[in-house]
């Protein structure tokens, strides 16, 4: 059985005082989800605070983005090697808010695919676990292009990096229409897409596909996590808004834990 992962993406939220409360509440409940991998993704300026709070716990951490370069004249960027100074384990790559909001919309799709592949490569070569986010836009969803879009992303990633690299990575299916909208995919929809993703990877390598964790992200809350996580190809969640509320986030982690216990 694949070990579930629940990842909390704080996006551009937080303050030193607020983080302290949130971290304390999550830590106080951490023994209620011992069989689940849990990771938090604060804004990079809070990495030190998160590292200090979580270093002796079963909760890991990472960043919301990483540069595809090692160092140099890249103002505002953060390199993979810098993340080691903060003992980061994971990094999010290709989150739709980065794809859509940060010039990346202006980029040719092929250039964007290349940048994401380079970031992925950088993370793997630096020993970080990339969580690659892919999902269809509302427009693509409306015209039934989900599998076409997801399949294309997966093929490009595998062709650039080799299928075996996915054994050191995590995939997240994040339909853009579900992110921050309160409109989660149904468990059945998520299962269908996750199963399609796993089969696509299996065309290249069955063993890698079977071991690959595929998270669902998009308006997961305490009250809808359990049915999503009950699906056989849903290996946990990437949680945005609800990761800022300790009660909600802990409930989500506990739903993943119940799934492990059966
Ligand atoms: C996300 O930021 O990856 C996300 C899934 O957000 P939300 O849970 O708020 O939809």
| CA 236 – ligand 1 centroid, Å | 13
176 lines ligand 1 (CB under 6 A): no
Q: How confident is the model at residue 108 (pLDDT cuts 50, 70, 90)?
A: low
The whole model's pTM is what? 0.95
33-79 confidence digits (pLDDT tens): 999 999 999 999 999 999 999 999 999 999 999 999 999 999 999 99
Ligand 1 pocket member 9 (CB < 6 A)? yes
The catalytic residue positions are 95, 174
64 lines ligand 1 (CB under 6 A): no
Which atom from ligand 1 is nearest to the alpha carbon of 181? 10
Please choose from 40, 241, 242 the residue to mutate so as to test ligand 1's pocket, defined by most ligand atoms within 8 A of CB. 241
CA of 45 from ligand 1 middle (Å) equals 20
Mean predicted confidence (pLDDT) in 231-256: 98
- pLDDT score for 101: 59
Interval between CA 219 and ligand 1 midpoint (Å): 6
What does the pLDDT read at residue 102?
Answer: 55
Q: Report the distance separating Cα 175 and Cα 146, nearest Å.
A: 9
- Compute how many other C-beta atoms are within 10 angstroms of the C-beta atom of residue 262: 5
- pLDDT surpassing 90 at residue 134: yes
Q: How confident is the model at residue 95 (pLDDT cuts 50, 70, 90)?
A: confident
Distance CA(177)–CA(206), nearest Å, equals 30
| Distance from Cα 73 to the centre of ligand 1, integer Å | 31
Mean of pLDDT over the chain: 94
**Distance from Cα 72 to the centre of ligand 1, integer Å:** 32
Q: Is 211 in the pocket of ligand 1 (CB under 6 A)?
A: no
Ligand 1 within 6 A of CB of 240: yes
At 179-200, the pLDDT tens digits run 999 999 999 999 999 999 999 9
Q: Is the CB of 96 under 6 A from ligand 1?
A: no
- Tell me what percent of the residues of the chain surpass a pLDDT of 70: 95
Confidence of residue 100 (pLDDT cuts 50, 70, 90): low
Q: What long-range pairs does 195-202 form, CB within 8 A, spacing at least 24?
A: 195/232, 195/233, 196/147, 196/150, 196/151, 197/150, 197/154, 197/171, 197/173, 197/233, 198/233, 200/150, 200/151, 200/154, 200/155, 201/154, 201/158, 201/163, 201/166
Q: Which of 227, 231, 233, 226 is nearest to 252 (CA)?
A: 226
Give tens-digit pLDDT for 216-239.
999 999 999 999 999 999 999 999
């Amino acid at each position: 059985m694949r070990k579930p992962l629940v990842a909390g993406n704080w996006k551009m939220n937080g303050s030193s005082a607020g983080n302290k409360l949130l971290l304390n509440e999550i830590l106080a409940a951490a023994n209620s989800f011992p069989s689940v991998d849990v990771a938090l993704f604060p804004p990079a300026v809070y990495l030190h605070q998160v590292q200090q709070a979580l270093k002796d716990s079963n909760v890991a951490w990472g960043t919301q983005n990483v540069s595809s370069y090692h160092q140099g004249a890249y103002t505002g960027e953060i390199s993979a090697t810098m993340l080691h100074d903060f003992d980061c384990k994971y990094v999010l790559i290709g989150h739709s808010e980065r794809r859509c909001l940060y010039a990346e919309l202006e980029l040719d799709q092929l250039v964007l695919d290349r940048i994401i592949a380079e970031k992925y490569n950088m993370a793997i070569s630096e020993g970080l676990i990339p969580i690659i986010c892919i999902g269809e836009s509302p427009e693509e969803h409306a015209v039934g292009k989900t599998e076409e879009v997801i399949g294309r992303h997966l093929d490009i990633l595998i062709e650039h990096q080799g299928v075996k690299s996915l054994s050191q990575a995590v995939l997240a299916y994040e339909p853009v229409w579900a992110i921050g909208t309160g409109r989660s995919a149904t468990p059945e929809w998520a299962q269908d897409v996750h199963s399609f993703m796993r089969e696509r990877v299996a065309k290249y390598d069955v063993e890698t596909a079977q071991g690959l964790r595929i998270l669902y992200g998009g308006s997961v809350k305490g009250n809808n996590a359990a049915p999503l996580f009950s699906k056989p190809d849903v290996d946990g969640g990437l949680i945005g808004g609800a990761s800022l509320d300790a009660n909600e986030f802990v409930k989500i982690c506990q739903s993943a834990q119940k799934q492990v216990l059966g």
